[in-house]
Amino acid sequence: MKSPEYVLGFVIGLLVSISVVAIIALINRKRNKPKEYDERQQAALGKAYKYGYFTFIIVELTAMVFSLVGIQIPVEPALLHFLIVLCAGSVTAVVSIWKDAYFRIGQKKLAWTILLLIIVMLNIITFARSDRAELITADGLLSYKWLNPAACLFLVLIVANVWLKVIADKKTEKNETED
């Protein structure tokens, strides 16, 4: 059982995060009309969501089968399910990035990648400040304290794929202009 201070801190942190996202969304909405996805992007997003969904189902069922046959994954259940969600989210994000459907038409990629990198840095700071003794439980399982590094890896994966896609697009554009 987590201490009341921990639960209160978690709830306040979650509420602050949701509030910041809501304020940024409201500011952007008032500043300019939200950009839309075109039909090709919507179709690509549908594929990305489908791949992410099937990834989630397959990995979750695999974890369930492991549990049923007595194979213990050395991770606390909350962290395991969070990692499964991140895995499915990673598939969705990577597929949509490479199908040019991650960003809306005209959306600024640099601003979003900078925001993601700031979130990565905050997660790194949070993890660095955590008590090392709590990283592994008494049962020898990875504890929920690994949520921050897992989220960092997820966000770094997204940023890296955005950058790689930008480089690939520039290279393709350069080759097309040379022809």
pLDDT tens profile 92-125: 999 999 999 888 877 778 888 888 888 888 888 8
Question: Is 152 inside any structural domain?
Answer: yes
Residue 98, pLDDT score: 95
Q: Which residues contact 135 (CB under 8 A, 6 or more apart)?
A: 142, 143, 145, 146
Residue 92 included in any domain:
yes
Do 24 and 42 have their domain in common?
A: no
pLDDT at 34: 59
- 113 within 8 A of 159, measured Cβ to Cβ: yes
Angstrom distance (rounded) from CA 13 to CA 7 = 10
Q: What is the pTM of this model?
A: 0.77
8: domain range?
1-30
Tens of pLDDT along 139-165?
Answer: 888 888 888 888 889 999 999 999 999
Query: DSSP class of residue 32?
Result: S
Domains in the chain: how many in total?
Answer: 2
Q: How far apart, in whole angstroms, are the C-alpha atoms of residue 62 and residue 75?
A: 14
Average pLDDT for 49-68: 96
